[in-house]
Amino acid sequence: MNVKDIKHAGLKKWIGEFAELTTPDAIVLADGSSSQYDELINLTVESGLATRLNPAKKPGCVLFLSDPSDVARVEKRTYIASETQDAAGPTNNWMDPKQLKKEMTDLYRGCMKGRTLYVIPFSMGPIGSDIAKIGVELTDSPYVVTNMMIMTRVGKKVLDVLGTDGYFVPCFHSVGKPLAEGESDGGIWPCAPMEHKYISHFPETREIWSYGSGYGGNALLGKKCLALRIATVLARDEGWLAEHMLILKITNPEGKSRFLTGAFPSACGKTNLAMLIPTVPGWKVETVGDDIAWMKYGSDGQLYAINPEAGFFGVAPGTSASSNYNALVSASSNTIFTNVALTEDNDVWWEGIGYDAPGKLIDWNGNEWVQNKADKTQKPAAHPNARFTAPASQCPSIAAEWEDPKGVPISAILFGGRRPHTIPLVHQSNDWSHGVFLGSIVGSEVTAAALDVKAGTIRRDPFAMLPFCGYNMGDYFQHWLDVGHAAPDAEKLPKIFYVNWFRKTDEGKWLWPGFGENSRVLKWVFERCEGTAKYVKTPIGIMPTLDAIDRPVGVSEEDMKELLSVDIDGWLEEVKDIRTNHYPMFGKHLPKELATFLDKLEADLRAAK
């Protein structure tokens, strides 16, 4: 099948207009077949863009290295180009959409000379699901095509669902460097200089325009761009939720299962939790998704979630057999690695993989690298944001329901952040609206080294959506409240929890071991959904009694008291920070209901002092 066979007149016209603007040498339709995937991988290997890995150790795997300027999401060049700046809100970069489209159209003109224009019809979510959405990405990057073939459902079946006049989200992408005759990309993928990189979203017209970057979050436009920034706008208008959340299935020893979602800022263990191996005997955790959840009410009045993705775009450094065995196995075959180190026998290595570097490596910059533990200034062999793109179907813990088109019924929603102090191990909201309040104040403490700010400063990341909400975040808070108010049956709404695996003593000792031991907290969450858990009401919400959560080895009773206590003074400081530095930025868009919750929290804390 090729572009001429597309039956959707609007789609064909749109492709033709973009091809006329960008002047590619050829146009190829991505059909989603394994043969085309192999052909594209061979093309990248033969051109020097990719290295085929050792088939005995990493069958079907390749390694790509990027330009050093193109290694992560470029937040400062990411725009929500709504018709007004107020509609984009204070947490997004904004440009006038007419001006932005003019600048980008000029950049797109002739940018695919010497390249092939690939047309990628893709479904976010199981094809044909009532919760799924269709997008079409036009790109000149075979790296993008092959990654999208892993991360989404691509090809003819998508076009069949689209039909002759179905709705799709149009996605433009170019690496932004036309090739002169006989020129090649020289072993790393091409990209434009920083001032010409744009990752642009147009909420009113539901368009995504990306230029100048080949990196995943900037170039795989089904991921953060469609699945969150544009999807949040669609969800707002259609009455559902598009969230930066894992989805997991937990089953108790009696065989009863429940499904949970969880939102966590970066570096808070979201993927680890999604693929957790429980330490509690008889309990089982399975993976539905590790990054994004779309939730919509079902006919029975429950909130159902799908994972709109078909793969994992995981961070490699720190992933090991002990930290996340299931992720490591997921990426052991048929995987695209980006910016990790290459061993002499064509295997991959990264910092935190669980063993020392095996001899001489080629680092992510393409240079020879030998591990020297004595040299504390040695630069890492793998980029800290190095990635693996692996099919979700290869995950040992994948749940049988992960591709159910109707989704899975959600019993609980977790919010969490990295907080050494104040926030307890777990507490539950009093109801849905109070849970929205908890989601709106989530934050993680950062170091001066990380963000050039005072050590201990709280970086608020409401709902873990700060970089991903496609409209004014104050209005996003209101949408969450509205979804709860519109529940067909309030008794069936998911229970909402705030967790914190990262408490420390004043001396810097971890109070909670985390990883698989987090299953002990999930067990309490499960039992709260069943109505069997021991609990106590506090000024901050519902908390476990001291004996409600089984203590892991090494956690003393005193530690547990600390983990499950309400730090009145710490919470009053929290209230002060929210009132002074966080909520004011949303101005008139902050829902009054949330301001009332903040007032009540302060009053309850002072009454308990």
- For the annotated catalytic residues, the residue numbers are 268
- Residue 80 β-bridge partners: 201
Instruction: Return d(Cα 218, Cα 213) in angstroms, integer.
Output: 6
AA letter at 142:
P
Phi, psi of 111 (to 5 degrees): -75, -15
The answer to whether the CB of 409 falls within 8 A of the CB of 529 is no
**Strand ranges, E, within 350-508:** 361-362, 368-369, 387-391, 408-416, 426-428, 443-445, 458-460, 495-499
Distances (CA, A) of 543 to 397, 459, 524, 555, 559: 30, 25, 10, 18, 16
Contact yes or no for 313/387 (Cβ under 8 A): yes
Which amino acid makes up residue 134? Answer: I
Q: What DSSP designation does 224 have? A: I
- Sort 485 into a burial class: Cβ within 10 Å, 0-12 / 13-18 / 19+: exposed
Cross-strand pairs, 341: 349
Contact 561, 64 (CB under 8 A): no
Beta bridge partners of 504: 510
- Taking alpha carbons only, the member of 498, 499, 521, 493 closest to residue 431 is 493
> How many angstroms separate the CA atoms of 337 and 504, rounded?
34
The string of DSSP codes covering 401-422 is: TTT-TT-EEEEEEEEE---SSS
- Angstrom CA distances, 595 to 92, 177, 590, stand at 22, 49, 8
Copy the structure tokens of residue 378.
């040695």
Distance CA 19, CA 114 (A): 13
CA nearest to 310, candidates 73, 89, 152, 131: 152
**DSSP string of 135-201, one letter each residue:** EEEEES-HHHHHHHHHHSEESHHHHHHHTTT---EEEEEE-S-PPPTT---TTS-----GGG-EEEE
Maximum CA extent, the chain: 76
40 with 131: CB under 8 angstroms? Answer: no
Residue 226: other Cβ atoms inside 10 A: 28
Instruction: Say if residues 413 and 428 touch (Cβ distance below 8 Å).
Output: no
Sort 113 into a burial class: Cβ within 10 Å, 0-12 / 13-18 / 19+: middle
First to last CA, the chain: 71
- At 295, which amino acid appears? M
Q: Which amino acid is at 145?
A: V
